[in-house]
């Protein structure tokens, strides 16, 4: 194994189809119009010295290292900023050029510490490389003149250092922050010799607007901005291309290693979702993989009040199998079930559902993906015929109008947000529908055209009102609708949305959004060019989640915004493998590829393939399993990679269900909250320790590659396999690629997928079969998967969760950039310094009415429970709305969320809870006892680790 080196062409790829022929150093080459001379030379293998140029950024032309001679032109232009022209004759290496470059390099080196041997970038420094390339042997000016050699380091960021002594003021970091990340946190401060990079107003990095994405660190050609992990460990010696295990963007990374130790994660330029960029989580927050609180040995206990007892893998597996068999014998075949994880690989998910269907002998399998995105599957398969988003992320480069609804991409899907912001800076327009003023509403060089700050719970009314304007103002794309959709259904729908009760004026009364803003947003969406809708859990996690997804699909069909780049309906999936977990048959009623268990042909195919009889009755969803447990009929649960006690609604009910079971098996990295109710703990493995695939929000199937041996001795798929065998299965796999072969054999949309294909192509977007052998970036190009697109009437039904005198405020929840989901991983990294605790955002009027000051403890009460948090007074939320995140178990927002759920899929209504907020003295009683319990288990674990 060696380091994967990606060629740096110096300037970005030109996208013109017109080709230009020129001659460089006597060789004739043809390149697209708009290509720089530097890139053209690089394409033919000639490296022109450079310092300020890199192909992730537009050419800047400041360092003067890349000078060339062009026949017929005076002077020595910079090759990075000079585009090719037809017939141009270029020389890259002449005596004059050599002298000029050497002179420039001398100036740089005269103000640079000569500590190469002890520098962290030794061997990976472009200044060092270029000094070698220009043949620098001496510095005529000496080293005693004015210099910056004693400038103070900024160590404030936990992941990288800034050492101004080594800065060559090439501006690459500043441009990376602007062009790639879109944060504009850096500037060049001072002039001439005094100029240096500054974060914010010469703040420490940590105190500036920097969001720690690391793009500047990656862009820096010297050791000025360097990962602390590289400083601590040294330069990597090999790398492995793999996929981020955090959000649904699915960024590709090079895991750069020394032996089995990760030195750094570098976003891969060939990654088709991220195109060489990442956020703080993927790039830096991988330390949890070796955190001392990881559990590495299996443990069992007879009762949840007993202490854990470490056992061998053999004993743990045999005990688990015998418990499940005992329960089934005593309480019936359907008394046990399991939960798959959207954090695990496709192969692991497939194996868990196979074991449940084939070896438990029932369909009691569900997934955390239902808890966030099942309305997407239901809504999009009803309207379009496929349970997935319609586009790829590259599509955003063609968007003219982006409509973001119920999503906060800069926090939840940061790399997509950066790509979107780039397009917005190029002139695309933005509509945001969200109760909260998310960052995209106004950030450097980005300003929303319309922010419709609706009351939580009124999405359906709002999207239907947009449709009302489109229909009644004659903005429907009739050609598209007549040729691509069911015309009769369209007419029924058009008559429905045109009713006065769906007008913006009426919807203003429930949503609180001025009618003229709704009208203006609808007109922009319908007439502004390519319009794309991106949505998140703010759409799905409602009692009408599925209805909103269908309302969104209606909008896209009515305006013809489907089937080409730049348009479409794009669900932004929460966890890394939400799409895959759904695709792999995690639902109690569906096999892989969304085929109902009652379908005889599909079931018989699986029966033949697996050699078992399969149940044709759909099984239980998680809430039904918990209800049945409380009722005494459901007794055993296998939970892989999920913390339902923290992530599922109505914590008290989840706890009651778990407590009523006789055998709860938790397979995870850490002793999570659910493990408090477990009888068996099977230590899980991280994405760094296994092979497999994840499927991201754009249906892209990507390889996860093992970079280190599992610390617990087994990858998750091996644990499930062992358990299935102990239950009597004869299934056998030597490698996850064989599981993927079985998935492909059994799932029409995956028919051509194999590890060989993924290794060859990098990734593919399903469907990948004989009809689309290379996968399908944009769906529904010539027709919908279901045939005619289906318009569905979307009647607005207010949620039963109402405000009133006791609970006058509406609580809605979301994420923050530095943390992920229930925080099990990110809380065990340095990311905690950005978010030590969940806080409650409250509008100044609501705070004043209640006598709450900023940072005060407040109690939040709902019909389900209470918790306490510190208040953050802000007008990001409207009066009447409060907001919090759910990353910390000691605040547990889900203690207060209710049992209401989506009518079609049971997806919980996390986004609307009626609450009251009142000042309090500190944490609630349950939080105090939780904190004490957590302290105790940490002490025990730390003692054990020592
Ligand atoms: S880490 Fe990212 S946000 Fe921070 S300064 Fe660098 S590029 Fe900008
Ligand atoms: S910090 Fe690095 S990238 Fe930024 S100007 Fe200095 S040398 Fe260039
Ligand atoms: S968390 Fe999401 S955006 Fe961030 S690096 Fe991972 S996949 Fe990319
Ligand atoms: S690389 Fe062209 S001017 Fe710096």
| DSSP-derived secondary structure for 763-801 | EEESP-SSSSTT--SS--SSSBTTBSB----------S-
Ligand 1 pocket, CB under 6 A: 176-177, 181, 183, 185-186, 210-216
- Asked whether the CA dihedral 163, 167, 170, 171 is positive or negative, the reply is positive
Closest ligand, as measured to the CA of 101: 4
CB 840 within 8 A of CB 869: yes
Contact (CB, 8 A) for 418 and 182: yes
- The phi and psi torsions of 183 (rounded to 5 degrees) equal -100, -25
Token reading at 234: 């040294």
Angle of CA points 376, 380, 382, to nearest 5°: 120
How much is the pLDDT for 943?
53
The closest ligand to the CA of 36 turns out to be 4
Q: Is 424 in the pocket of ligand 2 (CB under 6 A)?
A: no
Which of 8, 49, 62, 90 gets mutated to test ligand 4 (max ligand atoms within 8 A of its CB)? 62
CA–CA separation, 266 and 254 (whole Å): 5
The number of the ligand nearest the C-alpha atom of 53 reads: 4
Quick one: pLDDT at residue 836?
Answer: 78
Question: Average pLDDT for consecutive 10-residue bins of the chain (946 residues)?
Answer: 90 96 97 98 96 97 96 95 97 96 89 87 91 83 66 93 94 97 93 82 91 97 96 96 95 96 96 96 94 94 94 97 97 96 96 97 90 84 91 96 96 96 97 95 95 94 98 98 96 97 97 97 98 93 89 97 96 88 94 95 96 96 94 96 83 90 96 93 96 96 96 95 96 96 96 96 94 92 92 89 87 83 80 86 95 93 88 94 80 72 80 89 69 57 49
Q: Which two tokens stand for residue 860?
A: 């939040």
**What phi, psi does 765 have (nearest 5°)?**
-105, 125
Q: Please, what sign has the CA dihedral across residues 453, 454, 456, 459? A: negative
Structure tokens at 594: 């969304």
- Mutational test site, ligand 1, from 162, 171, 215, 227, max ligand atoms within 8 Å of CB: 215
Ligand 4 within 6 A of CB of 531: no
Name the β-bridge partners of 570.
534
Q: Calculate the alpha carbon distances from 862 to 629, 653, 865, 895, 912 in Å.
A: 25, 15, 5, 9, 11
Cβ–Cβ < 8 Å for 883, 436? yes
For the entire predicted model, the pTM comes to 0.93
CA nearest ligand 1 atom 5, residue: 210
CA nearest ligand 1 atom 7, residue: 177
Alpha carbon distance 500, 619 (integer Å):
43
| Sign of the torsion formed by the C-alpha atoms of 229, 233, 235 and 240 | negative
Task: Give the model confidence (pLDDT) of 743-793 as tens digits.
Answer: 999 999 999 999 999 999 999 999 999 999 999 999 899 999 899 999 999
| Contact call for residues 266 and 803 (beta carbons, < 8 A) | no
Under 8 Å between Cβ of 55 and 13? yes
Before 410, cis peptide (omega within 30)?
no
DSSP 442-484: EETTEE-SEEE-PPTT-HHHHHHHHHHHHHHTT---HHHHHHH
pLDDT in tens, 689-714: 999 999 999 999 999 999 999 999 99
**Which residue shows structure tokens 């009208």?**
519
- Beta carbon of 431 within 6 Å of any ligand 2 atom: no
Closest-approaching ligand to the CA atom of 171? 2
Please give the pLDDT value at position 466.
98
- Alpha-carbon distance of 43 to 831, in angstroms, equals 40
66 CA distance to ligand 4 middle (Å): 5
Instruction: Pull the structure tokens for residue 270.
Output: 């060939």
Q: Is the CB of 217 under 6 A from ligand 2?
A: no
Q: How far is the CA of 825 from the centre of ligand 2 (A)?
A: 31
Reading the block at residue 459, the tokens are 């999405």
CA separation (Å) from 701 to 172, 378, 581, 755, 777? Answer: 32, 21, 12, 10, 12
The pLDDT, as a whole number, for residue 816 is: 79
State the Cα–Cα distance between residues 544 and 548, nearest whole angstrom: 6
pLDDT recorded at residue 945 = 46
Distance between CA atoms of residues 697 and 389, nearest Å:
7
Nearest partner of 644 among 374, 366, 885, 399, judged by Cα: 366
């Amino acid at each position: 194994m060696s380091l994967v080196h990606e060629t740096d062409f110096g300037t970005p790829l030109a996208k013109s189809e017109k080709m230009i022929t020129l001659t460089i150093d006597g060789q004739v080459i043809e390149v697209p119009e708009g290509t720089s001379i530097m890139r053209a030379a690089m394409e033919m293998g000639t490296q022109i010295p450079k310092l300020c140029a890199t192909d992730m950024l537009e050419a800047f032309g400041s360092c003067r290292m890349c000078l060339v001679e062009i026949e017929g032109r005076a002077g020595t232009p910079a090759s990075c900023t000079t585009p090719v022209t037809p017939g141009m004759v270029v020389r890259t290496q002449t005596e004059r050029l050599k002298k000029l470059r050497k002179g420039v390099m001398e100036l740089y080196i005269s103000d640079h510490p000569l500590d190469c041997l002890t520098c962290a970038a030794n061997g990976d420094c472009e200044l060092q490389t270029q000094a070698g390339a220009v043949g620098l042997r001496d510095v005529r000016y000496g080293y005693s003149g004015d210099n910056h050699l004693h400038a103070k380091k900024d160590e404030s960021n936990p992941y990288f250092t800034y050492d101004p002594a080594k800065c060559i003021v090439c501006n690459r970091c500043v441009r990376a922050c602007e062009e790639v990340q879109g944060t504009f946190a850096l500037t060049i401060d001072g002039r001439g010799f005094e100029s240096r990079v500054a974060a914010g107003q010469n703040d420490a990095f940590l105190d500036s607007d920097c969001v720690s994405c690391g793009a500047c660190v990656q862009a820096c050609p010297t050791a000025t901005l360097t990962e602390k992990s590289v400083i601590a460990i040294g330069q990597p010696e090999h790398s492995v291309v793999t996929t981020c295990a955090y959000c649904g963007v699915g960024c590709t990374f090079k895991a750069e290693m020394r032996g089995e130790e990760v030195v750094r994660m570098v976003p891969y330029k060939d990654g088709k979702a991220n195109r060489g960029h990442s956020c703080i989580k993927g790039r830096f927050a991988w330390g949890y993989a070796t955190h001392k609180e990881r559990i590495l040995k299996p443990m069992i206990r007879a009762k949840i009040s007993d202490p854990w007892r470490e056992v061998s893998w053999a004993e743990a597996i045999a005990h688990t199998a015998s418990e499940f068999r005992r329960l089934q014998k005593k309480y019936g075949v359907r008394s046990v079930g399991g939960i798959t994880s959207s954090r695990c690989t496709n192969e692991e998910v497939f194996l868990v559902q196979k074991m449940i269907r084939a070896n438990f002998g029932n369909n009691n399998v569900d997934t955390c993906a239902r808890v966030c995105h099942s309305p997407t599957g239901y809504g999009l398969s009803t309207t379009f015929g496929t349970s997935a988003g319609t586009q790829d992320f590259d599509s955003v480069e063609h968007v003219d109008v982006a409509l973001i609804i119920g999503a906060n991409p800069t926090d939840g899907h940061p790399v997509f947000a950066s790509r979107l912001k780039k397009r917005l800076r190029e002139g695309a327009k933005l509509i945001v529908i969200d109760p909260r003023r998310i960052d995209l509403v106004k950030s450097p060089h980005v300003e929303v055209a319309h922010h419709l700050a609706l009351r939580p719970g009124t999405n359906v009314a709002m999207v239907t009102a947009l449709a009302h304007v489109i229909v009644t103002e004659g903005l429907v794309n009739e050609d598209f609708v007549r040729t691509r959709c069911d015309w009769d259904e369209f007419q029924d729908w058009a008559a429905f949305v045109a009713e006065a009760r769906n007008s913006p004026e009426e919807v203003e009364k429930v949503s609180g959004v001025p009618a003229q803003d709704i009208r203006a947003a609808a007109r922009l969406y319908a007439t502004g060019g390519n319009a794309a809708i991106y949505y998140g859990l703010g759409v799905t996690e409602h009692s009408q989640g599925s209805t909103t997804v269908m309302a969104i699909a209606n909008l896209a069909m009515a305006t013809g915004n489907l089937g080409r780049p730049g348009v479409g309906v794009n669900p932004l999936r929460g966890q890394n493998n939400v799409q895959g977990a759904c695709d792999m048959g995690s639902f109690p009623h569906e096999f892989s590829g969304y085929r109902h268990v009652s379908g005889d042909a599909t079931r018989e195919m699986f029966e033949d393939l697996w050699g078992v009889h399969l149940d044709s009755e759909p099984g239980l969803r998680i809430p039904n399993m918990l209800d049945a447990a409380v009722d005494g009929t459901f007794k055993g649960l296998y939970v892989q990679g999920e913390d339902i006690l923290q992530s599922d609604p109505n914590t008290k009910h989840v706890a009651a269900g778990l407590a009523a079971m006789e055998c709860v098996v938790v397979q995870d990295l850490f002793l999570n909250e659910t493990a408090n109710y477990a009888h068996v703990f099977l230590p899980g493995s991280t994405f760094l320790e296994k092979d497999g695939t994840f499927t991201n929000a754009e249906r892209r199937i990507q390889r996860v590659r093992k970079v280190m041996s599992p610390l617990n001795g087994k990858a998750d798929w091996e644990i499930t396999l062992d358990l299935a065998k102990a239950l009597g299965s004869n299934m056998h796999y030597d490698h996850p690629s064989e599981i993927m072969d079985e998935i492909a054999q059994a799932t029409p949309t995956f028919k051509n997928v194999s590890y060989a294909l993924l290794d060859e192509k990098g990734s593919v977007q399903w469907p990948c079969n004989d009809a689309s052998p290379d996968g399908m970036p944009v769906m529904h190009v010539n027709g919908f998967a279901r045939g005619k697109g289906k318009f569905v009437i979307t009647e607005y039904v207010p949620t039963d969760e109402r405000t009133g005198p006791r609970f006058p405020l509406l609580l809605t929840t979301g994420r923050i950039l530095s943390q992920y989901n229930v925080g099990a991983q990110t809380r065990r990294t340095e990311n905690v310094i950005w978010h030590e605790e969940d806080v409650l955002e409250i509008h100044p009027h609501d705070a004043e009415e209640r006598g709450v000051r900023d940072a005060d403890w407040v109690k939040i009460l709902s019909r389900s429970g209470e918790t306490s948090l510190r208040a953050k007074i802000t007008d990001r939320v409207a009066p009447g709305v409060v907001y919090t995140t759910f990353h910390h178990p000691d605040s547990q927002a889900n203690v207060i969320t209710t049992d209401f759920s989506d009518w079609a899929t049971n997806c919980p209504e996390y986004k609307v809870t009626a609450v009251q907020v009142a000042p309090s003295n500190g944490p609630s009683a349950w939080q105090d006892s939780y904190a004490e319990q957590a302290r105790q288990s940490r002490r025990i674990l730390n003692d054990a680790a020592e």
